[in-house]
Amino acid sequence: MSLRQELEVLKHDSDFQNLFRVPPTEQLLESCPALLAYDSRGSVAGRIYVSNTYMAFGSRKPNECKWVLPLYTVRRVERVDDFEHTLAVAIITWHQLRVVVAFEGAAREGQQFCMALRDQLRIQVQHVAKLRAFLNTCSSEAMLRTDTRRIGQGGGVGVGSNGNNPSSPTSPNSSCMSDNTINNNANAGLGQQFGYPVDDAHYADAGIVAAWKTYFDTHGRNLTLLQLPEFQKLVKGGVPNQLRGEVWEVGCGSIYYRCSYPNRYRDILRENLTNVSMSTTEIEKDLNRSLPEYPAFQSSEGIGRLRRVLTAYSWHNPELGYCQAMNIVTSVLLIYMSEEQAFWALATLCEQTLPGYYATSMYGALVDQAIFEELAKKELSDLMRRLNSRDIQISTLTLPWFLSLFINAMPLTFVIRILDRLFIEGPKILFHVSLAILKVNSEKLRKARDDMEFNEVIKAYFASLDTLLHPNSTNPRLRSITGFDRLILVATQDFIHVDDETIVVLRKAQQSKVVHSIEDFNKRKMLRDLVDTARFTRAELGQIYDCYSQVLFYRRDDDDDEPAMDYPLFLDLLASITRWCRGREDVDDLDAANRSMSSTRSRRRSKPTYHFTKRLFDQFAHEHPDELSFQELVCLLGAIIKGDLMSRIELFHAMHDTSQRGHLTQKDVTDFSESLLYLFRYEQQEFSLRSVAVFLNHANEHATPDPDHEDVRLLSLPALRSVILSDEVLERFFDRSFAASFQINQAVVDKRRSHAFGIFDELWH
């Protein structure tokens, strides 16, 4: 398979993972057009997929039908006689939901799909044993086994204590469970103990609870749920508090991670029980600042849960670790979710739903802010012109809305209802609501003279969201409409055309611009923070930074405020800016040569020669022995490029003075000569070899006996200078040639990087 074909396969896998929000380990095996029939009302046209662990269906029309089914929840597959289609099968799920799939298109496609499905079902059958215990943690199971009055009044969700009990509620044929087998806290969020931000009185209505129960009975639940327009209507109408955590994890896909890795959360906590990192230190600082208005986070119970979830995620994803705003989002998750549910929901939010939002650079949120500003200019052009004329930058003011998912902006009661839709509909809801906020308040915002007045208008609006808009109306339904209801109505009706596809296209258009602006900001910050500029001009420092960041491109982590350069990367840098270094190849060649010599001259040379480039690296790597910071690199290059003849000789003397006593031993002098030969290898061999030979002779002549050991001769710095100055080639090398071999003022183009981006751009854009 060629590189292009491999990339195309990766793209198809990625598209499948993003569409159905399944783990990134899933590989798409087969897909084909099909009709899906789940009741007597007809069928839905779309495409069906099978991967390692899942079968999934996506309707041709947006939001008409979405179904993600773990293969270990399939009880049976039957062939169905269908006179209109050559091949049709019925899928019977764990919850006795019967769905008929009729394959369209070429018969061969349907047959290949069925064979792949058969093979994966055989593999996944081994996971059926864990299903019963997992379903015991799902609130929808509790709803169907518990009196509807109890679930409406906030009764415990519960976890079955014996997953192997044949009368378990997760068995399709059972409908009851004795109270003494329910653990009322194991799978409950903090809301069960400390109360819920959203009053459950409305959602406890028997009609609403009955509607949810009916949907779960007829269209599956948790792992087998069919997401139809009726499901979205239920979410918009109100999610009972006891169901909200499960609805969120089903919507964002974190339920599939939780089921696939049942012990991961506990294992992380156990393995890192005594470990400490920079992330855990930052977490401790933010714990008491996390949703302080909610009583649970003023108690040891709430703080303990929050600490464990954030700490576990920092070890689960050490590259990202912990970033501010994670604590705010996780606090809200824990009101409705268990710790394990919140852990996987946080992971899904950070890595799939809102990638880049909670990185140090916040590049994901910045990209979406650029998109939001572009959409605002298009949808609310008059308002944006007025704000721009007064230098009011809305992206600065609205960035916290996106980062905190409105948690720090609106009353929590309304935030929860926005999150209901975010988890089901995806990040587009953030754009819909933000645009609606500007539109609803456009008249007042047009009068704002500066950022402060803009903020005052928005704060007053958020504080009035629960205000009844028509309190004197005779129509009961109209009389109950609040400011928040109007906001959601504007968001969903006026900006419905801002869909997922639009967001994806705009993200691709804005991403490179935002990344460039972040890199430019990092560059200015790094240059501003330099303590010693080593006599380089601002322009020269910028060129050095460009070379430095180019080399670090392949290993930079979002969690690094100031990434550092190790020795192999230092070799890559030297290869890009000097005439004499070939990068890591030089050290590899040296090691190979020394290994071959060790068999014949093992007594003379038992270890590889301490390479010149490593000496140079170690001479300036002071803060961390194995890393070179940007400041240290500037000092290194400054000593070479901005130094003079005498200072460069002193630098070489210090690099080869292994005893650090200010004198070179005979071995040090030999290593010094080998360094010269390494640097001269691309020069005129005859002259350079002669100069090195003369250097060895003169060095021996100028060496003086060691006062402590008469048989040892030492070469001092003044003596070394005399030896160098006595040879025209060496004097010219230290005076001009060595410094001139560094070319930082030439643009460095990484061909691997540009070629790779060319391929990816062609495939992904």
pLDDT of residue 624: 83
- Given a cut of 60, whether residue 480 has pLDDT beyond it is yes
- Given a cut of 80, whether residue 180 has pLDDT beyond it is no
CA atoms within 13 A on the CB side of 660: 2
Note the pLDDT tens digit of each residue in 519-560: 777 788 888 889 999 999 989 999 999 888 888 865 544 444
Question: CA dist 435 to 394, 442, 459, 511, Å?
Answer: 11, 10, 16, 21
Task: Report the distance separating Cα 549 and Cα 556, nearest Å.
Answer: 9
Residues 6+ apart with CB under 8 A from 391: 450
Closest CA to 224 of 138, 164, 122, 148: 138
Q: Crossing angle for the helix pair 666-680 and 612-620, nearest 10 degrees? A: 110
- For residues 63-70, average pLDDT: 95
Helix/strand/coil percent split, the chain, to 5? 60, 10, 30
Q: What percent of the chain has pLDDT over 90?
A: 63
- Given a cut of 70, whether residue 263 has pLDDT beyond it is yes
pLDDT of residue 610: 63
- Given a cut of 80, whether residue 748 has pLDDT beyond it is no
Task: Report the distance separating Cα 689 and Cα 208, nearest Å.
Answer: 91
Question: CA dist 645 to 25, 487, 585, 716, 725, Å?
Answer: 58, 73, 30, 17, 10
Tell me, what DSSP letter sits at residue 468?
B
If one compares 706 and 80, the residue with the highest pLDDT of the two is 80
Query: Is the Cβ–Cβ distance between 87 and 114 less than 8 Å?
Result: yes
- For residues 687-702, average pLDDT: 89
Residues 6+ apart with CB under 8 A from 609: 590, 594, 671, 674
pLDDT of residue 55: 98
- For residues 105-128, average pLDDT: 94
Note the pLDDT tens digit of each residue in 293-335: 999 999 999 999 999 999 999 999 998 999 989 999 999 999 9
- For residue 565, give the 3-state DSSP assignment: strand
Helix boundaries (H) for 380-469 = 381-389, 394-403, 412-425, 428-440, 442-446, 451-463
- Per DSSP, the chain holds a count of helices (H) and strands (E) of 38, 11
Closest CA to 330 of 321, 339, 318, 320: 339
pLDDT of residue 9: 87
- For residues 434-453, average pLDDT: 96
- Given a cut of 80, whether residue 181 has pLDDT beyond it is no
pLDDT of residue 587: 66
Evaluate whether the domain defined by 363-505 bears CATH number 1.10.472.80. Answer: yes
Boundaries of CATH 1.10.472.80 in the chain?
363-505
According to DSSP, the β-strands at 98-103 and 28-39 are antiparallel
- If residue 101 lies in a helix (H) or strand (E), which one and from where to where? strand 98-103
432, two tokens: 């819909």
Min mean pLDDT across 298-307, 679-688, 752-761 is at: 752-761
Largest alpha-carbon pair distance within the chain?
112
Strand partners, 54: 70
Q: Phi and psi dihedrals of 390, rounded to 5?
A: -105, 15
pLDDT of residue 526: 86
Sheet holding 713-716, edge to edge: 663-664, 713-716, 704-705
Task: Report the distance separating Cα 484 and Cα 464, nearest Å.
Answer: 9
* Confidence band of 152 (pLDDT split at 50, 70, 90): very low
Q: Phi and psi dihedrals of 94, rounded to 5?
A: -55, -35
pLDDT of residue 153: 41
324, two tokens: 């501010």
- For residues 224-249, average pLDDT: 94
Pick the CATH number of 515-740 from 3.90.320.10, 1.10.630.10, 1.10.238.10, 3.40.50.300: 1.10.238.10
Region for 45 from its dihedrals, namely left if φ exceeds 0, alpha if ψ lies in -120 to 50, beta otherwise: beta
Min mean pLDDT across 305-319, 423-437, 488-502, 602-616 is at: 602-616
Residues 6+ apart with CB under 8 A from 193: 185, 296, 301
- For residue 629, give the 3-state DSSP assignment: coil
Question: CA dist 23 to 35, 52, 72, 651, Å?
Answer: 25, 11, 16, 54
* Mean pLDDT computed over every residue of the chain: 85
pLDDT of residue 626: 85
Task: Report the distance separating Cα 62 and Cα 315, nearest Å.
Answer: 37
| Dihedral (Cα; 151, 154, 159, 160), 10-degree rounding | -50
pLDDT of residue 268: 97
- If residue 405 lies in a helix (H) or strand (E), which one and from where to where? none
Query: Is the Cβ–Cβ distance between 278 and 321 less than 8 Å?
Result: yes
Boundaries of CATH 1.10.8.270 in the chain?
264-353
* Confidence band of 758 (pLDDT split at 50, 70, 90): very low
- If residue 74 lies in a helix (H) or strand (E), which one and from where to where? strand 74-79
* Confidence band of 151 (pLDDT split at 50, 70, 90): very low
**Top-level class of domain 264-353:** mainly alpha
- Given a cut of 60, whether residue 167 has pLDDT beyond it is no
Query: Is the Cβ–Cβ distance between 289 and 325 less than 8 Å?
Result: no
Closest CA to 73 of 92, 47, 50: 92
Whole-model pTM: value is 0.73
Fold classification of 3-131 is PH-domain like (2.30.29)
Note the pLDDT tens digit of each residue in 601-647: 333 333 334 689 999 999 999 888 888 999 999 999 999 999 999 99
pLDDT of residue 592: 54
- For residues 365-390, average pLDDT: 94
* Confidence band of 724 (pLDDT split at 50, 70, 90): very high
Task: Report the distance separating Cα 551 and Cα 582, nearest Å.
Answer: 14
- Given a cut of 60, whether residue 575 has pLDDT beyond it is yes
- Given a cut of 90, whether residue 163 has pLDDT beyond it is no
pLDDT of residue 250: 97
Tokens 């999610």 belong to which residue?
239
Boundaries of CATH 2.30.29.30 in the chain?
3-131
- For residues 335-353, average pLDDT: 96
Min mean pLDDT across 50-64, 358-372, 577-591, 703-717 is at: 577-591
Tell me the DSSP string of 370-397.
HHHHHHHHHHSHHHHHHHHHTT--HHHH
Closest CA to 226 of 88, 72, 59, 349: 59
